[in-house]
Amino acid sequence: MKELKALCRKNIWDLAPYSSARNEYAGHQAHVFLDANENPYNSPLNRYPDPLQETVKEALSKVKGVPAENIFLGNGSDEAIDLPYRIFCRPGKDNAVAIEPTYGMYKVCADINDVEYRPVLLDEDFQITSAKLLDACDENTKLIWICSPNNPTGNLIPRNTIEEVLEKFQGIVIVDEAYSDFSGVTPMRKEIGQHPNLVVLNTMSKAWGCAAIRLGMAFASKEIIGLYNKVKYPYNVNQLTQKQALEALKDPFRVDKWVKIILLERARMMVAVKELPISKHVYPSDANFFLVRMTDAQSVYDYLTDKGIIVRNRTHVRLCGNCLRITIGSKTENQELLAALRKYSEGVKPHQS
């Protein structure tokens, strides 16, 4: 890769970050806080949170197997997605390459930051070659986005494909592993030491069951994490989120149990949906959801919605015509969905399927 200074926007590299009150006394013990214009009443909510979430990072480090200095925490993964555009991409000049179809926020953040977004279409098996991704790049390509397992397709992008991109691309490669806990493969965050241009995203929203607290994370070199921390807003992760994250991280074995149950339900649901006459193809999945091509996805979606059952209609996404994305819920929820789909199938005339 190019030197980090050459990849970074000059104004960001030269930026003097905001120095919060909590940063300035770091390394000292304190018990009287008269530095941040806080109200002395309503403890503990009257105090600003740790701007760098050090305690949460230490707890995460033990669970994720990554040093705390290599972890960035953000207000959901969306903050960790937005920041690379702000750090590395000059508005109106630079561009980013991504697989297509994939998670929509990569493009939304590109559009917000006035960065050209170059989608590269996956093949019929929802796979891609490194050559195809690299061919879409030019001298102004700063980022490549790879979601693996991918959303909405559910499949992993092969590790060797990602590694070839990392070795040959001169910019930053961001691998979004939001669903990696359901894949059974070693996460790429373990390889940030071998690839200085690698950023790996993860979240508390999926396997950890903490979507409500909005806590996303990025794993990368100490230098890249330093840039993330320079550009982020001072108190980007609130105290309530930090507290709840620490509670969740006390019991990682509970998460392992949840994942095992979800994987068993995923296998059962995929077989059951495949047997329905309205189902044309159920795609392989390495996530906590699966994609299914229906005979008439819109009609099925409308029927389920009327029954109060919500799935994701992906029929207007490229390569996903007539596809529904179904999240694995509890066994009770899954049974209710199956019952509704079977009921719908009974009313489908032979020529409709």
Confidence of residue 353 (pLDDT cuts 50, 70, 90): very low
Q: What are phi and psi of 59, to 5 degrees?
A: -65, -40
| Residues 12-69 pLDDT 10s | 999 999 988 777 776 678 889 999 999 999 999 999 999 999 999 999 999 999 999 9
| Residues 302-320 pLDDT 10s | 999 999 999 999 999 999 9
Average per-residue pLDDT for the chain: 96
User: Could you count the other beta carbons within 10 Å of the beta carbon of residue 151?
Assistant: 21
Confidence of residue 349 (pLDDT cuts 50, 70, 90): low
| Residues 253-302 pLDDT 10s | 999 999 999 999 999 999 999 999 999 999 999 999 999 999 999 999 99
Judging by DSSP bridges, how do beta strands 141-147 and 172-176 pair with one another? Answer: parallel
Read off the pTM.
0.95
User: Could you tell me which residues come within 8 angstroms of residue 213 by beta carbon, excluding any fewer than 6 positions away?
Assistant: 204, 240, 241, 244, 245
Closest CA to 63 of 170, 217, 269: 217
3-state helix, strand, coil in the chain (%, to 5): 40, 15, 40
- What is the predicted pLDDT for the residue at 19? 86
Confidence of residue 200 (pLDDT cuts 50, 70, 90): very high
Alpha carbon dihedral 176, 180, 182, 186, in 10-degree steps, equals 160
State how far the Cα of 96 lies from the Cα of 92, in Å rounded to an integer.
12
Contact 119, 100 (CB under 8 A): yes
Q: What's CA 192's distance to the chain center, in Å? A: 17
Confidence of residue 207 (pLDDT cuts 50, 70, 90): very high
Of the CA atoms within 13 Å of residue 238, those in its CB half-sphere come to 9
Q: What mean pLDDT is predicted for residues 178-194?
A: 97
Residue environment code for 54-67, b if the CB has 16+ CB neighbours within 10 A, otherwise e: eebbebbeeebebe
Q: What mean pLDDT is predicted for residues 175-188?
A: 97
Q: What mean pLDDT is predicted for residues 315-341?
A: 98
- What is the predicted pLDDT for the residue at 351? 44
- What is the predicted pLDDT for the residue at 29? 83
Q: What are phi and psi of 344, to 5 degrees?
A: -60, -45
